[in-house]
């Protein structure tokens, strides 16, 4: 603090000055700032307590033989008789006294560091601002619908895969991949949108491949789904199953006269003995 010395310094007790008046008479006097005590010793006067000090609104501190007027912390002496607040924020100039995440606010006798949004004063030093982790301190789902990510001075919401952040920067909406990515042909078959994703459906007679996008023809004849793939041989006829794209066809095999069915797909001639004079019998295929 700035001080103004009003009187001299001394000790709390001093010997009085004795002046002889003639004969046996004498007078004892004390220096300025002292008073004569009962034991004829000069005792310091506490001008701050008695009101004799003229410090005005300044702080008064008693001293042996006098007192001193000073300004409280955060003030400076002006014109030798009054105190004025020190603007610490202005005095900082190009070297701010608060961190970059705060604004300096001057107060009487001191200053405050007002933290920006997303920051707060550190527990051990109110002049330092630290980041607030809004995601940790807020109830789950209160800030973001899906995921909350803390960033310096704030937070950011993100969505699960297959969703898009809405303009409110908090909630998420499903992405319709079938509509938005139609030009990229997400499915060879039919595309069905689902929450957060999509799935491909193949037409009848096809099955979905391992890539979950393309379709593979089902061989109904091989799998046995075709009815004619299960039938046998009846009365010289047989059903033949022919696989087609997305389906199958059934063909009946019947042998001509004089032939019999061998297996399911082959006709063989029935062995017979023709009379020597039967030309037609001998020349049958």
pLDDT tens digits, 223-275: 888 877 776 544 445 677 888 898 888 887 778 777 777 766 677 777 667 77
Instruction: Report the pLDDT averaged over residues 159-165.
Output: 96
The residue segments making up the domain with residue 61 are 1-84
Closest alpha carbon to 284 in 265, 266, 264, 270: 270
Report whether 44 contacts 52 (CB < 8 A). no
* Among candidate residues 67, 84, 101, the one where a domain is terminated: 84
* Among candidate residues 38, 54, 84, the one where a domain is terminated: 84
Residues paired with residue 253 on neighbouring β-strands, in sequence order: 238
**Do the domain assignments include residue 75?**
yes
Residues paired with residue 107 on neighbouring β-strands, in sequence order: 110
At 107 the pLDDT is 93
At 193 the pLDDT is 94
**Do the domain assignments include residue 37?**
yes
68 vs 149, higher pLDDT: 149
Could you read off the pLDDT of 204-223 as tens digits, one per residue?
A: 999 999 998 999 999 988 88
Angstrom CA distances, 111 to 57, 73, 76, 91, 235, stand at 21, 11, 15, 11, 111
* 167 contact partners, CB below 8 Å, separation of at least 6: none
**Do the domain assignments include residue 33?**
yes
24 vs 216, higher pLDDT: 216
CA distance 199 to 214: 11
CATH of residue 50:
2.10.25
Closest alpha carbon to 114 in 98, 125, 133: 98
- pLDDT band at residue 282 under the 50/70/90 scheme: low
At 165 the pLDDT is 97
At 112 the pLDDT is 92
Residues paired with residue 274 on neighbouring β-strands, in sequence order: none
Instruction: Report the pLDDT averaged over residues 27-50.
Output: 90
Instruction: Report the pLDDT averaged over residues 14-41.
Output: 86
Closest alpha carbon to 6 in 47, 50, 51, 49: 47
CA distance 105 to 210: 66
At 268 the pLDDT is 78
**Do the domain assignments include residue 36?**
yes
At 237 the pLDDT is 53
CA distance 71 to 77: 6
**Do the domain assignments include residue 35?**
yes
At 1 the pLDDT is 45
CA distance 92 to 97: 6
Residues paired with residue 114 on neighbouring β-strands, in sequence order: 103
Report whether 208 contacts 202 (CB < 8 A). yes
CA distance 102 to 173: 36
Backbone angles phi, psi at 273, to 5 degrees: -100, 120
**Do the domain assignments include residue 148?**
no
At 234 the pLDDT is 44
**Do the domain assignments include residue 69?**
yes
Q: What average pLDDT does the structure give for the chain?
A: 85
Number of compact structural domains in the chain:
2
Could you read off the pLDDT of 79-118 as tens digits, one per residue?
A: 877 889 999 999 887 888 898 899 999 999 999 999 999 9
* 215 contact partners, CB below 8 Å, separation of at least 6: 188, 189, 200, 202, 203, 206, 207, 208, 209
**Do the domain assignments include residue 67?**
yes
pLDDT of residue 18 exceeding 80, the answer is yes
pLDDT of residue 146 exceeding 50, the answer is yes
CA distance 224 to 229: 6
* 91 contact partners, CB below 8 Å, separation of at least 6: none
At 9 the pLDDT is 44
* Among candidate residues 49, 84, 119, the one where a domain is terminated: 84
pLDDT of residue 2 exceeding 90, the answer is no
Instruction: Report the pLDDT averaged over residues 67-83.
Output: 86
CA distance 180 to 182: 6
Report whether 32 contacts 65 (CB < 8 A). yes
Report whether 261 contacts 267 (CB < 8 A). yes
- Of these ranges, 3-12, 157-166, 234-243, the one predicted with the greatest mean pLDDT is 157-166
């Amino acid at each position: 603090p700035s001080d103004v010395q009003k009187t001299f310094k001394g000790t709390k007790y001093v010997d009085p000055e004795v002046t002889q008046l003639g004969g046996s008479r004498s007078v004892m006097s004390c220096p300025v700032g002292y008073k004569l005590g009962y034991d004829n010793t000069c005792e310091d006067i506490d001008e701050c307590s008695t009101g004799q000090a003229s410090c005005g609104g300044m702080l008064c501190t008693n001293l042996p033989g006098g007192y001193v007027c000073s300004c409280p912390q955060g003030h400076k002496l002006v014109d030798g008789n009054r105190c004025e607040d020190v603007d610490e924020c202005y005095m900082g100039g190009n070297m701010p006294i608060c961190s970059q995440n705060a604004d300096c606010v001057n107060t009487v006798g001191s200053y405050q560091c007002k933290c920006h949004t997303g920051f707060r004063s550190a527990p051990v030093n109110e002049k330092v601002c630290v980041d607030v982790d809004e995601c940790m301190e807020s109830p789950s789902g209160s800030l973001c619908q899906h995921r909350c990510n803390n960033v310096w001075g704030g937070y950011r919401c993100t969505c699960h895969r297959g969703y898009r952040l809405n303009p409110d920067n908090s909630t998420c909406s499903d992405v319709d991949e079938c509509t938005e990515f139609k030009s990229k042909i997400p499915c060879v078959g039919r595309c069905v949108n689902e929450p957060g994703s999509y799935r491909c459906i193949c037409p009848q007679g096809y099955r979905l491949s391992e890539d979950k996008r393309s379709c593979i023809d089902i061989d109904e004849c091989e799998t046995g789904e075709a009815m004619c793939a299960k039938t046998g041989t009846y009365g010289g006829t047989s059903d033949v199953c022919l696989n087609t794209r997305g389906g199958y066809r059934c063909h009946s095999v019947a042998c001509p006269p004089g032939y019999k069915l061998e297996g399911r797909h082959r006709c063989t001639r029935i062995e017979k003995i023709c009379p020597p004079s039967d030309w037609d019998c001998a020349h049958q295929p």
